[in-house]
Structure 1
Amino acid sequence: MDIGSENLENLELGSNSKKQENEVAIVMVPFPAQSHLNQLLQLACIFSSSYNLPVYYVASATHNLQARVRANALNPSDIAKIHFHDLPTPEFASPAPDPNALSKFPAQLLPSYNASMLLREPVALFLKDISSKSRRVVVVHDVLMSYNVQDVSSLHNAESYIFNCVSVFFMYCCFICIPKGIPIPLEEDLLKKLPSLEADAPEEINKLVAFQLQYKDIRAGDLYNSNKVLEGTSLDLMAQFASTQNKKQWAIGPILPTKLDHVSDKRNKCLDWLDNQPPRSVLYVSFGSSTTFSDEEIKELAVGLERSKQKFVWVLRDADRGDIFTGEARRFELPEGFEERVNGVGLVVRKWAPQLEILAHSSTGGFMSHCGWNSCIESITMGVPMAAWSMHSEQPINAFFVTEILKIGLIVREWEKREELVSASTIENVVRKLMASKEGDETRKRSEELGKAVRESTEKGGASQLELDSFIAHVTR
């Protein structure tokens, strides 16, 4: 039967559109800061590799490249499956961080944050295009990109979900309790120790956050990089509140590879160094991508580490610029002869380091950290106790959560004393207590037990895996 070329073309078009109609596309829209880029890329790889869904990672060319080059623990073949879409981003200034600023907040990133506020139109165009080719579009975005994705509500087959890059405890305290005048659900002795919840950020960032939060109610629900093992109480409280707003929530964390079984062709030298150290003997020292130390602070830290007589790997880098590919890196001056004196005991790494692989290494026994949620969740999952030294934003709340609620860490410096110089003797004492004392051993034991429970939650039938399966079933319905 001759159905004619025109009819044949229509039939083919019909079969293609039917094929496309079955497809659910996931679009990730990260905020342009390292800890946010990283968490959304980890999640993108899970959606793509574990559930075989097409995933689009949508950011500026600079930040897409940043996410890729720093994806240490992810399997390159998983990253290769992600469709990176470069948004046209206005040029922005990329100043160096100020090592002597009184506040540790990374004010040098403000121009890049402000530039990200201008992405609504290109995001809307991209979503409209993907929407025309898919049965459903699922936008998973950072809360600080809510304004940019608001046009999702104008598409008949699209919905959005906020991926929260912070702890549920922080979310509940700062976004429910304080604005609504609800008491924070802690015993009185813990409430007295809770750091001030007042924002320490510049007014410009507070305005940016407030502006973005106006648009968050268009979401259908929330995803958390946490789970019931870690934050069951806070999740239950958030669920009660979410139900009054008709929002759904899923606690799917930790969204990182708990088994690092892919073989990288470029193994970092610090992992080779760790191979030659005794089990649980090394303190990993790193303050993330947004902390800058003054020369005086570097000197105190160096002297404290040396005097502690404990083994260490110290990642000594400046904080990120808005564009990490521009500008000269600052060269830190260590005390004269420091690296020669600690040779064999300590290793100084001046480049980006594979943090998750270091924390997963059997020789790592502690982590001195700024307590960004990314670092906390990695340390907790790998069962490594923390020396908590918060710097800005939600970090003091995370440090409190780790040390006072989970009891898997020790405080280096109280938040109220953040403008004081931390002395070498303070650093020496905390390092020794964490790495070479009975209290440190007990903290390590609790960390290892909690890490085991968290890892089990990500396995088949575990709480976190069930939540992830539930979310995928919901968005592919």
Structure 2
Amino acid sequence: MPNLGRKMEASKANISIVVVPLPTQGHLNQLLHLSILLSSHALTVYYAAPAIQIHQARSRLEGWPASSISSLHFHELPIPPYASPAPNPDSSLFFPSHLLPMFQAFKHVQPHLANLLRSLSANSRRVVVISDLLVSFAATEAAALPNGEPYTFRCTPPSSGLAWQRQDSPAGALIRSLGLNTPSPKDCMPEEFLAHVAQCQSRPESGLLINTCHLIEGDFLDFFMQQPDLIGKKLFALGPLNPTVITETTGPRHHCLDWLDRQPPGSVLYVSFGTNSSISDDQIEQLAIGLLNSEQRFVWVLREADRGDFIAEGENRLQNKLPAGFMEKIEDKGTIIGDWVPQLEILAHRATGAFMSHCGWNSCMESISMGVPTLAWPMHSDQPWNAVLLCDYLKVGVIVRDWNRRKEILPAAEIEKAIKEVMIYDKGQEIRRRASELGEAARRAAGDGGSSNTELLSFINHITRS
């Protein structure tokens, strides 16, 4: 056995892994989780991103011990100046178009990434590049190396890609057979971003890594791998990538966790629409009234969406849009948070009973792995499909705002009804039971001997092969 151990360690020697995320929170976070998992297996991992986004990823790390990133190599990619406008909560599309200048500027880091890869190539047996689906230039640079091996990481569920295919395709037939509704991508993203996707989407030359598992999307994965670009490629379903046993950070504990400690088990609704989504002033008012009238405890993250330069945040004006006397009326039943919160720790807390969410895939996987049911309020991109997947397919939530009514102001009475449906009514008991069971199964999949852990080890064995 000692000889076998030495052989395994030798196979990892001189393997350099470079992880290149799209520079926005949901993508930075998932790929940081993956980097930590890979480095925990004695692999050399470089996390390459602009300096601001490296700071963003590190400062928002949660669920892992602080030492988990000590072995990572954070490599700063110089990026040219770009506009960092405030988000527009009154946009007819809820997509964070204010981030487009950053996405365009990010293309200019390509030569700096190429320099890093070439320097590693000269002293490595193999350079494994794991890049976001929307960072095609990283895959291009990896493929140009004599010892480069590019892998694509998909931050959205494979089923969302199937949902956007033609109805007369095999994938479309599958979706119809399951009785699921599929929104058009043109309704979910602006044309400018769709054009950006068409230019930047990378091909999975050596294989595809996804933050999901067969437990969650088993019906879809075989169909997904039948797409022309994927036939014959390796697929590694590694999710959930977020830690499923939570270690609180060593820094100051967020005050909302102290508030949760004082609440009964399963009694609190957590409300957050992610780091890049915004709602209008009128919708803030209706949501506040709905929360108040539901008579349920809640933690509501009410903050401006991230800008491209997340450090240069503007003043959080949103709490000024709450109805007069709202803070006095909620007394000890609710708390409003105006800054970033440790979402994973909130979802793992015993007091949290449900999650009103925009259904970004990162939030979906976190809520699934913690066994927390979802009140779905999708905003853009893959989120409308993710809401359908969670609520109509997995049946671990309810849809609060139907996608066909996305341009309407959702009235307080409907919000109140959805909250009570999950938190109080009989239907909610079944949803909570299913969410709890799915969470247990997802944690087993990520644990030792589970399907996702096995696929992670399979990926490591593959990239360290002789």
Q: Do these two structures clear the TM 0.5 threshold for a shared fold by scoring above it?
A: yes
- How far is the alpha carbon of 1:73 from its aligned partner? 2.2
The aligned residue for residue 16 of structure 1 is none
The aligned residue for residue 147 of structure 1 is 137
Tell me the alpha carbon deviations over residues 128-176 of structure 1, each in whole angstroms, 9 at most, x when there is no partner. Answer: 01111211111011011012441211211110111110012112333x6
Does residue 450 (structure 1) correspond to residue 438 (structure 2)? The answer is yes
Query: Aligned with 2:240: secondary structure?
Result: coil
Query: Aligned with 2:137: secondary structure?
Result: coil
Does residue 26 (structure 1) correspond to residue 17 (structure 2)? The answer is yes
The aligned residue for residue 265 of structure 1 is 251
1:10-159 alignment, distance < 5 Å: 22-49=13-40, 51-159=41-149
The aligned residue for residue 402 of structure 1 is 390
- Please tell me whether the aligned partners of residues 306 and 313 of structure 2 are also in contact (alpha carbons under 8 angstroms): no
Q: Which moved more, 1:260-269 or 1:121-130?
A: 260-269
2-structure distance, mates of 1:424, 1:251: 39
- Say if 1:117 and 1:67 are closer, same or farther in 2 by CA, change over 3 A: same
1-structure distance, mates of 2:228, 2:438: 27
Code of the aligned partner of 2:28: L
Does residue 245 (structure 1) correspond to residue 200 (structure 2)? The answer is no
Query: Aligned with 1:234: secondary structure?
Result: helix
The aligned residue for residue 283 of structure 1 is 269
Cα RMSD of the aligned pairs, angstroms, is: 1.9
- How far is the alpha carbon of 1:33 from its aligned partner? 1.0
2-structure distance, mates of 1:69, 1:320: 14
2-structure distance, mates of 1:243, 1:444: 38
1:236-385 alignment, distance < 5 Å: 236-241=222-227, 245-262=231-248, 264-332=250-318, 333=320, 334-385=322-373
2-structure distance, mates of 1:204, 1:98: 16
Does residue 185 (structure 1) correspond to residue 174 (structure 2)? The answer is yes
- Please tell me whether the aligned partners of residues 173 and 184 of structure 1 are also in contact (alpha carbons under 8 angstroms): no
Q: Which moved more, 1:128-137 or 1:145-154?
A: 145-154
- Please tell me whether the aligned partners of residues 225 and 231 of structure 2 are also in contact (alpha carbons under 8 angstroms): no
- Please tell me whether the aligned partners of residues 142 and 150 of structure 2 are also in contact (alpha carbons under 8 angstroms): yes
- Please tell me whether the aligned partners of residues 154 and 209 of structure 2 are also in contact (alpha carbons under 8 angstroms): yes
1-structure distance, mates of 2:12, 2:61: 32
1-structure distance, mates of 2:457, 2:103: 33
Code of the aligned partner of 1:42: H
The aligned residue for residue 6 of structure 1 is none
Code of the aligned partner of 1:398: N
- Please tell me whether the aligned partners of residues 195 and 400 of structure 1 are also in contact (alpha carbons under 8 angstroms): no
- Say if 1:473 and 1:179 are closer, same or farther in 2 by CA, change over 3 A: farther
Which consecutive unaligned segments of at least 5 residues does structure 2 have? 1-9
Query: Aligned with 1:326: secondary structure?
Result: coil
Does residue 207 (structure 1) correspond to residue 195 (structure 2)? The answer is yes
2-structure distance, mates of 1:98, 1:343: 31
Code of the aligned partner of 2:38: F
- Please tell me whether the aligned partners of residues 63 and 245 of structure 2 are also in contact (alpha carbons under 8 angstroms): no
- Please tell me whether the aligned partners of residues 23 and 136 of structure 1 are also in contact (alpha carbons under 8 angstroms): yes
TM superposition outliers: structure 1 runs of 4+ over 6 Å: 178-181
- Please tell me whether the aligned partners of residues 375 and 418 of structure 2 are also in contact (alpha carbons under 8 angstroms): yes
1-structure distance, mates of 2:331, 2:313: 30
1-structure distance, mates of 2:64, 2:380: 28
- How far is the alpha carbon of 1:119 from its aligned partner? 1.8
2-structure distance, mates of 1:70, 1:179: 43
Q: Which moved more, 1:245-254 or 1:87-96?
A: 245-254
**Structure with max Cα Rg:** 1
The aligned residue for residue 7 of structure 2 is none
Tell me the alpha carbon deviations over residues 62-83 of structure 1, each in whole angstroms, 9 at most, x when there is no partner. Answer: 1111111111223211122211
- How far is the alpha carbon of 1:424 from its aligned partner? 0.8
The aligned residue for residue 435 of structure 1 is 423
- Please tell me whether the aligned partners of residues 366 and 386 of structure 1 are also in contact (alpha carbons under 8 angstroms): yes
- Which TM-score applies when normalising by structure 2? 0.94
- Please tell me whether the aligned partners of residues 359 and 378 of structure 2 are also in contact (alpha carbons under 8 angstroms): yes
Code of the aligned partner of 1:447: A
Q: How many aligned positions are there?
A: 454
Which consecutive unaligned segments of at least 5 residues does structure 1 have? 1-18
1-structure distance, mates of 2:238, 2:450: 10
- Please tell me whether the aligned partners of residues 220 and 248 of structure 1 are also in contact (alpha carbons under 8 angstroms): yes
